[in-house]
Amino acid sequence: MFDMEVCVSGQGDVDASTRGSRDWQLEALRTRIAAMSPRSVSVAARSVGDRAAGSGDEVLPVPDCLAAVLPGGGLRRGTIVGCPRGSLLLALLAEATAAGYWSAVVGNPQIGLLALHEMGGKLGKLAHIPDPGLDALAVVAVLLDGVDLVVLDHRGSAAASRSRAVAARIRSHRAVLIVTAPGWLRPDVTIEAQVVDYSGLGRGRGRLTGIEFELPVTGRARQPRTTRIALTGTGCGQTSWKSSVGWEPRTQRKQIG
């Protein structure tokens, strides 16, 4: 994982010198984005139009057990996805980085990097900016120039005009933005995660071997769908996701009124 921890940090009131320093830090971040491998980050080496014409991958991969309930079977490029902080978010990052896509997390200083690695994620394809300072959207906008998947895991809000500008940038750069909390941008698709069962624990004792989640998925102009998936240990410090036994993804009718 390449470290951007000090790039954009800042707290308290912002004077002119601090603003100048932060501008320099953002420019340094742009430089590092541009220096990333052109094989993985085509925006850094080519125009957006070339990227759209040549990449051929309209969605970023997700665990197979989750693909059936997502539009296009993955994270569709040019969209905003709502997903809570936790194991499911790590699963999306792990799948994308394992497939070779550059990803970045803005915020969440305590993100579970070890858990991400145990899910098969590649930390060398992940940037982490734990403290984005007072303007997290500015950091996100820079990252969108050259990162396929950006996670905004930082509480805050933005004016509607700025949110629209960032949404347009996501579409034009064919990136994916995941937001973990409301207040920033309205998601096109929202995935929720609810723990429904544990395995491996007996009557007051035992070792936890798996966690089962129910995942309601909602989105604009599409029927809500729900599936159940389980996170289980595979040995040797690795974990994997699989569909829950006997569970089929189902479509729910939207309630009106």
pLDDT band (50, 70, 90) for residue 74? very high
Phi, psi angle pair for 251, to nearest 5°: -100, 135
Q: What are 193-202's contacts with CB under 8 Å, separation 24+?
A: 193/83, 193/84, 193/86, 193/87, 193/88, 196/228, 199/230, 199/232
Question: The pTM is what?
Answer: 0.79
pLDDT for 252 equals 56
Tokens of 26: 């953002």
d(CA 43, CA 49): 9
pLDDT band (50, 70, 90) for residue 208? confident
Go through the chain and tell me how many residues it has: 257
Nearest to 102 by CA among 157, 186, 45: 45
List the Cα angle 57/111/187 in 5-degree steps: 50
Phi, psi angle pair for 22, to nearest 5°: -65, -35
Residue with the larger pLDDT of the pair 64 and 31? 64
pLDDT for 250 equals 62
Phi, psi angle pair for 242, to nearest 5°: -150, 160
User: Averaged over 53-82, what is the pLDDT?
Assistant: 87
pLDDT band (50, 70, 90) for residue 55? very low
Q: Is the pLDDT of residue 128 over 80?
A: yes
Listed in sequence order, the residues at least 6 apart from 86 whose beta carbon sits closer than 8 Å to its beta carbon are: 193
User: Averaged over 208-219, what is the pLDDT?
Assistant: 91
Q: Is the pLDDT of residue 247 over 70?
A: no
pLDDT for 248 equals 62
